[in-house]
C-alpha cells in the first residue's frame, strides 16, 4: 500500500508539472513571420471617359486561408463598376469549390465581396488574385480605389474561425494622369558659362485634392551647384494657406530632396496646375546634365498616394549639333555603267569639335534594295566650320529609272536637334540604258569577214579584166 501511494504521488507530481507546460504551449503564439497583404494592382490606373479599365485585388504571403472579405470604395461621379469576377487564388484555378457573394452599389460608390472555401478542413497558402473588377470611366478626375473592412479567416482548433493579421494597400484612378515636370524642359546655350546662373521650376499638372508632395532631383555635381530653393505658390494657393516646406541638398552627390505639406484643419487642398518649387543653379563647368526627377510622391487629403508621371529636364552649355546643308550631283542623267559624283555639304552648328559619319544612299525603288549606299568619315570638324564630302556612284548594273539621293549624318551623343542631320537632294538622278557592247571576238570576225569579201571582189574583177 505505501508503494502504491508512492506511485500515485509521483503521477500527480508529473501531471502537475506537465499540465502548465502543455497549457503554455497552447498559448504561446507561433513565431512571427511575414504579414499577409491585400492590395490593388495596378496601383495607378487611367482611362478616358467612356472607356473601361480593370484592376485585380490580390493577396500576398497568406497562410492557411479559408475565407476572405473586403469592401472597395470609389468616387461615384467618376466611376461605375461593370463586372466583378472571382480570382483564381482561393479556388486554386477551379480545383477547390468556393462560394462568392458580391454586392455592388454604384449609386453609393462601393462594393462588398465575400468568398469562402466549401470543402471542410481545407485551406490555401501563398499569393494570388482574390477578385478582378472592371470600371467604366464616367468623367475626368481622380479617385482612390479604397480597400477597407478587409478580413482574412482561417479555421482554428475545434473548427472555430480566426481572423489573421494583415495589411492593405489602395489603388488610384486619375484622368488625365497628374504629371510632375521640369519647366522649362531644356536649358541649352553656349552663353551659360561657368559662373552664370539659371532657374528651373518643378511643376504639377492635372492634380486634384493635393495636400502634400515630395520629390528628389538629381544632376551632374561637377557641372552644376544648387544655390537656392524656394517654394512655389501652388500648394499654398498664392500664400492663402501655410505649409511646412523642407529642403535638403546633397551637393557632393548631386541631388536634393524637397517636401511640402499643408498645415491646419480644415485642409484646403490644391487642384489644377502650378509650380511646386523653384530651384536656382550655378554653372560650374561645361557639358551636359539630366535634371532627373525621381521618387516623387503626391498625397491627397486622406494621405492616399496619387499616381503621377514624371518628365525630366536637361541642361547643356556644350551644344552638339551637326547639319547636312546641301547635296548635289555632277549630272542628273547618267547611262548605266557610267559614274556620277555626289557632293555633300556638312556644318558643325555646335560648340565642340566633332567627328562623325556621313552616309549617302539611294532608297529604292526602282531597285529592290539600295542601288547606292556609301559612308565616309568626317574628322574633327571645328565649331562653326563647314566641309564638303565627295561620293562616287558607279552605276554599272543599276536598274534603269529615277533615284532619290539622300545624305545623313550620324547622330552625336547628347545631340538635341537631329532634324537637320538628313538632307534629300532636290530632283533625282535618272539612270538610262547604256550602249550595246560587243565582244572582241565578234569584232575580229567582222573585220576578217569584210577583208575576205574585199579580197574576193578584187580577185573577181582582176580575173575578169584578164579575160577581156
Q: Does residue 189 share a domain with residue 285?
A: yes
Structural domain includes residue 353 = yes
Final residue of a structural domain among 251, 285, 316: 316
Q: DSSP per residue over 9-27, as a string?
A: HHHHHHHHHHHHHHHHHHH
Q: DSSP per residue over 100-151, as a string?
A: EEEEEETTTTEEEEEEEE-STT--EEEEEEEEEEEEEE-SSEEEEEEEEEEE
Q: Does residue 308 share a domain with residue 187?
A: yes
Reference 359, options 404, 416, 412, 406; nearest CA is: 406
Distance CA 203, CA 206 (A): 11
Q: Answer whether 82's CB lies under 8 Å from 47's CB.
A: no
Structural domain includes residue 100 = yes
Report pLDDT digits (tens) over 267-289: 799 999 999 999 999 999 989 99
pLDDT of residue 372 exceeding 70: yes
What pLDDT does 103 receive? 98
Q: Does residue 287 share a domain with residue 197?
A: yes
Q: Does residue 326 share a domain with residue 290?
A: no
Give the residues across from 179 on adjacent strands: 205, 309
Region of poorest pLDDT, from 65-74, 154-163, 391-400, 436-445: 436-445
Check which CATH number belongs to the domain holding 169 and give it.
2.60.40.680
Reference 410, options 390, 381, 385; nearest CA is: 381
What pLDDT does 167 receive? 97
Question: What is the band of 80 on the pLDDT scale with cuts at 50, 70, 90?
Answer: very high
Top-confidence residue, 15 or 116: 116
Residue 159, H or E segment: none
Residue 379, H or E segment: strand 373-381
| The total number of structural domains that make up the chain | 3
Mean residue pLDDT across the chain: 88
Structural domain includes residue 16 = no
> For the residues 413-437, what does the mean pLDDT come to?
86
In which domain, by residue range, is 149 found?
A: 36-175
Top-confidence residue, 337 or 5: 337
What pLDDT does 259 receive? 98
Residue 8, H or E segment: helix 2-27
> For the residues 6-27, what does the mean pLDDT come to?
44
pLDDT of residue 388 exceeding 60: yes
Q: Does residue 50 share a domain with residue 165?
A: yes
pLDDT of residue 323 exceeding 60: yes
Q: Does residue 155 share a domain with residue 41?
A: yes
Region of poorest pLDDT, from 412-416, 418-422, 437-441: 437-441
Q: Does residue 343 share a domain with residue 308?
A: no
**How many distinct helices (H) and strands (E) make up the chain?**
2, 33
Report pLDDT digits (tens) over 444-455: 666 666 667 667
**Total-model pTM:** 0.64
Amino acid at each position: 500500500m505505501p508503494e502504491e501511494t508512492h506511485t500515485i504521488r509521483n503521477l500527480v507530481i508529473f501531471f502537475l508539472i506537465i499540465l502548465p507546460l502543455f497549457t503554455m504551449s497552447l498559448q504561446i503564439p507561433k513565431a512571427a513571420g511575414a504579414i499577409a497583404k491585400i492590395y490593388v494592382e495596378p496601383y495607378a490606373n487611367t482611362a478616358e471617359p467612356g472607356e473601361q479599365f480593370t484592376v485585380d485585388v490580390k493577396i500576398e504571403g497568406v497562410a492557411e486561408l479559408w475565407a476572405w472579405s473586403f469592401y472597395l470604395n470609389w468616387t461615384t461621379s467618376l466611376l461605375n463598376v461593370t463586372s466583378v469576377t472571382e480570382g483564381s487564388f482561393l479556388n486554386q484555378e477551379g480545383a477547390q469549390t468556393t462560394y462568392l457573394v458580391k454586392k455592388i452599389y454604384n449609386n453609393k460608390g462601393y462594393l462588398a465581396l465575400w468568398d469562402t472555401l466549401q470543402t471542410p478542413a481545407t485551406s490555401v497558402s501563398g499569393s494570388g488574385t482574390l477578385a478582378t473588377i472592371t470600371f467604366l470611366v464616367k468623367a475626368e478626375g481622380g479617385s482612390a480605389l479604397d480597400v477597407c473592412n478587409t478580413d482574412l479567416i482561417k479555421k482554428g482548433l475545434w473548427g472555430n474561425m480566426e481572423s489573421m493579421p494583415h495589411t492593405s494597400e489602395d489603388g488610384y484612378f486619375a484622368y488625365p494622369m497628374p504629371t510632375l515636370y521640369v519647366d522649362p524642359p531644356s536649358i541649352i546655350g553656349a552663353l551659360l558659362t561657368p559662373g552664370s546662373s539659371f532657374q528651373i521650376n518643378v511643376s504639377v499638372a492635372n492634380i486634384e485634392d493635393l495636400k502634400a508632395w515630395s520629390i528628389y532631383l538629381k544632376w551632374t555635381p561637377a557641372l552644376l551647384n544648387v544655390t537656392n530653393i524656394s517654394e512655389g505658390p501652388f500648394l499654398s494657393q498664392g500664400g492663402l494657406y501655410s505649409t511646412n516646406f523642407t529642403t535638403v541638398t546633397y551637393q557632393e552627390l548631386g541631388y536634393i530632396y524637397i517636401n511640402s505639406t499643408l498645415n491646419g484643419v480644415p485642409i484646403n487642398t490644391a487642384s489644377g496646375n502650378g509650380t511646386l518649387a523653384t530651384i536656382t543653379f550655378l554653372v560650374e563647368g561645361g557639358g551636359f546634365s539630366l535634371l532627373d526627377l525621381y521618387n516623387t510622391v503626391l498625397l491627397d487629403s486622406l494621405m492616399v498616394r496619387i499616381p503621377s508621371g514624371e518628365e525630366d529636364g536637361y541642361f547643356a552649355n556644350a551644344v552638339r549639333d551637326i547639319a547636312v546643308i546641301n547635296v548635289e550631283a555632277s549630272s542628273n542623267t547618267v547611262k548605266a555603267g557610267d559614274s556620277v559624283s555626289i557632293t555633300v555639304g556638312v556644318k558643325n552648328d555646335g560648340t565642340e569639335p566633332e567627328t562623325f559619319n556621313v552616309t549617302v544612299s539611294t532608297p529604292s525603288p526602282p531597285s529592290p534594295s539600295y542601288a547606292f549606299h556609301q559612308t565616309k568619315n568626317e574628322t574633327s570638324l571645328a565649331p562653326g566650320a563647314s566641309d564638303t564630302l565627295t561620293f562616287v556612284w558607279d552605276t554599272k548594273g543599276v536598274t534603269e529609272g529615277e533615284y532619290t539621293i539622300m545624305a545623313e549624318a550620324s547622330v552625336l551623343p547628347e545631340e538635341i536637334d537631329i532634324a537637320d542631320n538628313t538632307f534629300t537632294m532636290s530632283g533625282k538622278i535618272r539612270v538610262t540604258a547604256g550602249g550595246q557592247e560587243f565582244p572582241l571576238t565578234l569584232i575580229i570576225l567582222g573585220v576578217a569577214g569584210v577583208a575576205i569579201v574585199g579580197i574576193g571582189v578584187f580577185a573577181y574583177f582582176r580575173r575578169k579584166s584578164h579575160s577581156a
